Structure 1
């Protein structure tokens, strides 16, 4: 079984072996409650510029800067050796962004896990608490993404992929956004097409594979992902890793950077 996206039972059986990270706002974590033992790293704290140090605002796209990210994780008692299980209350899209950010800064992806479902799904059947989690500050080592092999690619590589028959450029935004303007040659896959609204987790493997195959997003292809600000592609990237796709690329700059550089857009469906 893939341990990229993990069910609640998997987490419950390993509570002493993993670090649970809740990326909701602090008022939700404290006021509504959280999974027992979880620490809080709010989503806005690891967006570009939100936790920058000495003017460092990120190496690429929406990354927050390695030093700031390391401080943030260390303050929450997380080390780069921990098995991290992240969750939110939005079907995992914000939690996936934390995991991808950690991977891009050198955290072993085999130690990064997304809770299948979200806080609301957990709360339906399992214990929650409003008690503060004791945190011992730790040292988190973040590596410069340009110094290691990562799935990050730049706009030129995306443009080349659009003309490559062995690659598929995937736009993970909503239909109306895609129709207003997308990278030429990109196929549309709203990230939520892989999510079950009732369970708040992923659809079955068979259902997801049917959706992906219909768009030509298959494991033998090189898959290049983008959205607007790299949040939604984080979820799709994590799901495709879970499904065993071997060749995934991540355009961190996404459409925000693409447009800033004056590159061409296609419109329509």
Structure 2
């Protein structure tokens, strides 16, 4: 399962993992980055054909990871400076393109948390030569419009809207529960809240490990973070509606306003 790792965990393994920095290129160069990290800005791994939030395409993904010195068998640790939400989108994209979920890790607390404890650098990283080959995942969490529409009438499914409460009130899928992805993050540490707090928050929202869970937001960025967190916590029945509200509204899906 894709997991969340501490700065201390990463510090002990810097030479054994491939680091991906998804911040803007000017931040990578100007502010500095983790030693050995490759820069793959968020905008580079989103679809360029107008489908905001959608996958970039197999060829684009292979080129990006090959240029970053990453091979299909590598352990990858991704980070950003936004509590992990952009880095999580990178990791879910890797998962959907067949990377082993056991080799995908989100840095807990993002760049700022690392910077408080360990050294960063502005020097260019010496990246190895690599050829990345996309494969089909053994099991994909992706679900489509029709699957989500059918799930609305299934009492065994929890539909989760990971946007903020104001967005939720403006319009959401019928029966959805609102769990703002930021509720799982500690603003002070910039990382995940303690396990007991996470369990209490998730339980209050009806998200228990035995339930089938379907996640959506607007463009699949925020659900990526929630997906990674639930995976890290051992949830096995989590589905990822990548089209989210962008597709849902375009296809006249049912919407409830509060």
Fold in common (TM above 0.5): yes
Matched, 1:4 2:6: no
CA distance in 1, matches of 2:50, 2:71: 20
**Paired residue for 2:117?**
125
Q: Which runs of structure 2 are paired with 1:48-127 in the superposition (5 Å)? A: 48-49=47-48, 57=49, 62-127=54-119
Shift in alpha-carbon separation, 1:238–1:30, aligned structure 2, 3 A = same
**Paired residue for 2:206?**
216
CA distance in 1, matches of 2:239, 2:111: 29
CA distance in 1, matches of 2:257, 2:136: 36
CA distance in 2, matches of 1:226, 1:48: 18
CA distance in 2, matches of 1:130, 1:224: 40
**Paired residue for 2:139?**
149
**Cα distance, 1:136 vs structure 2:** 3.0
Indicate the SS of the match to 2:14.
coil
Indicate the SS of the match to 1:16.
helix
CA distance in 1, matches of 2:207, 2:136: 30
CA distance in 1, matches of 2:136, 2:210: 30
**Cα distance, 1:137 vs structure 2:** 3.4
Deviating more after overlay: 25-34 vs 154-163: 154-163
**Paired residue for 1:53?**
none
Indicate the SS of the match to 1:24.
coil
**Cα distance, 1:143 vs structure 2:** 2.7
Indicate the SS of the match to 1:249.
strand
Q: Check whether the contact 1:219–1:244 (CA below 8 A) recurs between aligned residues.
A: yes
**Paired residue for 2:159?**
169
What does the per-residue CA deviation read over 1:34-90, in whole Å, with 9 as the maximum and x for residues that have no partner? 1111111111100111xxxxxxx4999611111111111111111111100000000
Q: Please, what is the CA RMSD of the aligned residues?
A: 1.6
Q: Which runs of structure 2 are paired with 1:161-200 in the superposition (5 Å)? A: 161-200=151-190
Q: Which runs of 4+ in 1 moved over 3 A?
A: 57-61
**Paired residue for 2:40?**
41
Match for residue 158 of structure 1 among 144, 148, 157: 148
Shift in alpha-carbon separation, 1:238–1:139, aligned structure 2, 3 A = same
| Structure 2: gaps (5+ residues) | none
Match for residue 223 of structure 2 among 226, 229, 233: 233
Matched, 1:259 2:249: yes
Matched, 1:136 2:128: yes
Counting matched residue pairs gives: 258
What does the per-residue CA deviation read over 1:76-134, in whole Å, with 9 as the maximum and x for residues that have no partner? 11111110000000000000000000000000000000001111111111111111101
What does the per-residue CA deviation read over 1:178-231, in whole Å, with 9 as the maximum and x for residues that have no partner? 111111111100000000000000000110111111110111100100000000
**Cα distance, 1:149 vs structure 2:** 2.8
Q: Check whether the contact 1:66–1:143 (CA below 8 A) recurs between aligned residues.
A: no
TM-score (normalizing by structure 2): 0.96
CA distance in 2, matches of 1:78, 1:39: 9
Q: Check whether the contact 1:59–1:65 (CA below 8 A) recurs between aligned residues.
A: no
CA distance in 2, matches of 1:183, 1:137: 46
Shift in alpha-carbon separation, 1:200–1:242, aligned structure 2, 3 A = same
CA distance in 2, matches of 1:210, 1:3: 21
